[in-house]
Amino acid sequence: GSKNIQAKLVLLGDMGTGKTSLVLRFVKGQFSEYQESTIGAAFFTQVLSLNEATIKFDIWDTAGQERYHSLAPMYYRGAAAAIVVYDITSMDSFLRAKKWVQELQRQGNSSVIMFLVGNKADLAEKREVGNEEGEQYAKENGLSFLETSAKTAQNVNELFYEIAKRLEKA
C-alpha cells in the first residue's frame, strides 16, 4: 500500500473490563489471567497493513479506576478512534460504558471512530448484559459494536482491523 496513516487510539472503560488484555492480545498475541490493573495509562504501538494503506496505531490504554478519571481527556483528546469497553458479566460496567460514550460525545473529537465492545464473551454462563442490549445501545448512539474475548481471541483482530479499514477510508 502507498498510504501511511498514524492514528491515535484510546481505550476507555471500567476497571477490570479487559482493556489491557485486549491490547496485549492484539499487540503480542498473549493473554494473562493475572493481568495487573493499569496505573495512569499505558502506551503501545502496532502496525496493521491493509491493501491500500499501512496503519500505525498509537494506543493509549487508560486506567479504569475512578481515581484516574480526570486524566482521561488527555488521552481521548485528538484520538482518531476510541474503544469503550465493558464486561458482559457486569451490568455496572455497561452503565459505566454508557457514561464514557456520553463524555466522548460531549467532549471528544467529533469525527472520532467509536466502538462499543462487550468483552469477556467467553464467560457466557455469568452474562449480565445481553448481546442485543449492547447492540441496541450502540445503534441508538451511532457506534459500532462487537463482543470480544481477550482470552479466546474472539473478534479481537476483527475489532482493530475494522477500525483500520475505517481510518483508511476517512
Residues lying near ligand GTP in the complex (CB under 6 A) are found at: 13, 15-21, 32-33, 35, 37-38, 63-65, 119-120, 122-123, 149-151
Least CB distance to ligand GTP at residue 120 (A): 4
Least CB distance to ligand GTP at residue 165 (A): 23
Long-range contacts at 92-101 (CB < 8 A, ≥ 24 apart): 92/14, 93/13, 93/14, 93/16, 93/17, 94/118, 94/128, 94/129, 94/133, 94/134, 96/13, 96/14, 97/13, 97/14, 97/17, 98/137, 100/12, 100/13, 101/141, 101/143
Nearer to ligand GTP, 35 or 54 (CB): 35
Nearer to ligand GTP, 146 or 167 (CB): 146
Least CB distance to ligand GTP at residue 24 (A): 7
Least CB distance to ligand GTP at residue 59 (A): 12
Q: Please give the Cα distance from 11 to 58 (Å, whole number).
A: 11
Residue sitting closest to ligand GTP (CB) = 64
The sign one gets for the Cα dihedral 127, 132, 138, 140 is negative
Nearer to ligand GTP, 35 or 141 (CB): 35
